[in-house]
Structure formats: C-alpha cells, structure tokens
Amino acid sequence: MFKVNKLTDYAMVLLLEMARGSTVRSTQHVSDRTGIPLPTVAKIMKSLGKAGLVQSQRGAGGGYALGRRPIEITVADVIQAVEGPIALTACAETSDEHCSIEAVCPVQGKWNRVNRAVRAALTEVTLADMAEDIPTFGPAPRAKEEPRAATALLAPVK
Amino acid sequence: MFKVNKLTDYAMVLLLEMARGSTVRSTQHVSDRTGIPLPTVAKIMKSLGKAGLVQSQRGAGGGYALGRRPIEITVADVIQAVEGPIALTACAETSDEHCSIEAVCPVQGKWNRVNRAVRAALTEVTLADMAEDIPTFGPAPRAKEEPRAATALLAPVK
DNA sequence: GCAAAGCGGACTAAAACAGTCCTGTTTACG
DNA sequence: CGTAAACAGGACTGTTTTAGTCCGCTTTGC
Ligand code: SF4
Ligand code: SF4
C-alpha cells in the first residue's frame, strides 16, 4: 500500500482549514474545527512551523497562520515538512540512508529517474489547487460550542 | 521519509537481474547473484508471480522467468504487485480503506489529483528504461562458487 | 521413486508510526 | 507585574507495519 503518512494527510487538512482566512488560529480552535485531536494538531504544527509553511505567534491569543500564500505551498513541501526527504529508495540522491546491497547493486541510481518524476508530480499540485471550491468545514465544528471568542478578537486581518 | 517498500526495491533488483536473459532461473540462483537472502527472494517472487510479472516453472530444474517483455513492466506494476494498490490516502479512489474523518472532511477526494499524478509518473518508467546499460551484476556473485550448473543445463533459450 | 524447485501460509523480531504528555518559554492583558 | 494563554521542544509509549524466516505440501524432471 503505497501511501503518505497519516500525519501528512492531516497536515494537509490543517493547512486547508488555515487557508480559509489569514487570521491567527490557536491549535485548540483548529482541532475543534477539524476533529483532529489537539496534541496531534500541535505536533503537526511544529513540523510545519520548522519548514516555514506556517507562522506562529506565541503567547496569549497566539496561534498559527499560513507562512506563505497557498499557491506557494506544494504537496511536496508538506510531505517533506512532515515526513522528511522524498527519497523512494535508500540510494536515491535525496536520501541520507544506505542499503546493504549498495556496494554491489547495479540498480544504483536507476531509481533517481523515478524519484524525480514523483517529486515533479508532487510539486505540481499546490495548496491553492486543492483548496478550490472547498466550501466550509464539514457539517459544523464538533461538540463544544464555538470557542473562538478570544482568537477572533485579535484577528489581524479581515 | 516518503519511500517505497524495501521489498519493492528488491523486487526491482530481481526483475532487472532476470531481464538479462529469458532463461528460467531458480530462486537459489537469483539469490546468489543478487545477495538477497533466499527466503526473501522466494517471498518476493510469489508476489510477482501472482501479478503475472514473472512466470514460474515448478518441479526440478524449475524457476522463474519474466512474465512479459521489460518494456511492458512499469514501476507502478511492481509496486502494486508487492505492496498493493497505490493510494496515497485512505479516501483515494484506488483505496479500500476508510479514515476516521472521512465523513466530515472537506478534503475528500482532493488527493485524487495528486494520486493520479503520482501514478502517472510511476507508470511512465518501465523495466526496460531502468535496465539501460546495466552491465553485469556487481563484482561477481557472493561467496559460494557459481552454482548454476543444474539450471544452466535446461536453459530454454540462448 | 527421488530430489529439486515452487506454493501457501503461519509466525516472529524489529522498526516505524501515531498519539500523548510534560516542562519550559513567550506574550497579551488586566 | 502577575497570571493565564498559547507555542516550543522533546521524551515516552502503545500499536501497527514491515522484513525476514520457516514449515509442510505439491509439482515435475530424471
Ligand atoms: S543500491 Fe540497489 S538495492 Fe540498495 S537502495 Fe539502491 S537500488 Fe535499492
Ligand atoms: S477523508 Fe480527509 S483526512 Fe480522511 S483520508 Fe481523505 S483527505 Fe485524508
């Protein structure tokens, strides 16, 4: 089953939610909106932050906002932020690992072509593409009543 | 670390080795040639066999040969044979799984575009492409002296 | 008939992942 | 200036996947 990490998938959900406005949102808020558990949201946000995909505002009333415009964030960026380098095999040029056969393997480097093709495919699609006609989030938040009083107050924009 | 299964990688090595001639080879032989442990080779061959990528010949002097021409075997084929369907997310069209957010997730289906792009990239590269100027295998077999007496005798071709 | 080889599937150890938690730092605001 | 909200960083743990092995059965050439 060739697939992306579940956390990567979630990261995309979070980013898409955040793409709906440029206000700063707390992890709590985003968690409620998406249904993804709070600690998990926090963890993912940290990864995204390090990669610069989101900006953080610390302190009371703080939270996260997109680090750059949706059209400048590619799926490849998200994967790399959460999972690390995209390297289909241990011997790929983008990898830092090594395989046990590496010394004698005649396939050495042959995967690079595939690797590049996949990366190109992942770089083609941006957050903006995926955000197209996504209306609002699901059938409304989860349980707890809308908890955005605090954050709404200091929404920097709009 | 976005990567393919190690077994998939090995599968490619095996197929590439087999692409060098149309004779039937035993798993033992292929194992010696590639340095991949015998039981592992056997396991991979079974997967490849089910997918039709290799043909098997049972009984004494039996073994495996490619199931079709190298140009007709794509990287996507190999991945699917070993790992199962290529479905980047649980909600992808090619997936048979389901995710916990699926009901309320507005991203639903948005990954299909990415999924298709990746599959296309993987389908573009064939075994023939990867086999280009691969001379012989490594610095010679492993330890044990060349053990191909038996199989060489009944090589159907060439 | 015997031995070589594949077939199917069960099993286990090791690694990766998903999720949680805790301790510390920054910052708004009363 | 104290308090509480919120992020930062990292350790930890239970679960799931993966990689690798093994065994008993079937097929087939000699
Ligand atoms: S050296 Fe060969 S076996 Fe090892 S990762 Fe590269 S292609 Fe795969
Ligand atoms: S429904 Fe949403 S969270 Fe679930 S797999 Fe699809 S995109 Fe990911």
Q: What is the pLDDT of residues A125-141, one digit of tens each?
A: 999 999 987 665 544 44
Contact predicate B74/B118, CB 8 Å = no
Task: Note whether residue B10 is domain-resident.
Answer: yes
A89 CA from centroid of ligand 1 (Å) = 7
Cα(A33)–Cα(B92) distance, integer angstroms: 22
Task: Note whether residue A120 is domain-resident.
Answer: yes
- What predicted TM-score, i.e. pTM, was given to this entire model? 0.85
Task: Note whether residue B129 is domain-resident.
Answer: yes
Task: Note whether residue B82 is domain-resident.
Answer: yes
Name the percent of chain A in helix, strand, coil, to the closest 5.
Answer: 45, 10, 45
Task: Note whether residue A78 is domain-resident.
Answer: yes
A93 CA from centroid of ligand 2 (Å) = 30
Q: What is the pLDDT of residues B55-76, one digit of tens each?
A: 999 999 999 999 999 999 999 9
Output phi, psi for B17, to 5 deg. -65, -40
**Identity of the residue numbered B145:** E
Contact predicate B51/B87, CB 8 Å = no
Contact predicate A23/A150, CB 8 Å = no
pLDDT at B147 over 80: no
User: Can you give the CATH number for the domain in which B91 is found?
Assistant: 1.10.10.10
Q: Is A13 in the pocket of ligand 2 (CB under 6 A)?
A: yes
pLDDT for position B135: 60
pLDDT for position B54: 96
- The percent of residues in chain B predicted with pLDDT above 90, rounded, is 68
Cα(A79)–Cα(A75) distance, integer angstroms: 6
pLDDT bin (cut points 50, 70, 90) of residue A103 is confident
Name the percent of chain B in helix, strand, coil, to the closest 5.
Answer: 45, 10, 45
For residue B32, give its domain range: 6-136
Task: Note whether residue A147 is domain-resident.
Answer: no
**Contact status of A117 with chain B (Cβ, < 8 Å):** yes
Task: Note whether residue A33 is domain-resident.
Answer: yes
**Contact status of B90 with chain A (Cβ, < 8 Å):** yes
Number of structural domains in chain B: 1
pLDDT for position B140: 43
* Residue in A closest to B14 by C-alpha: A107
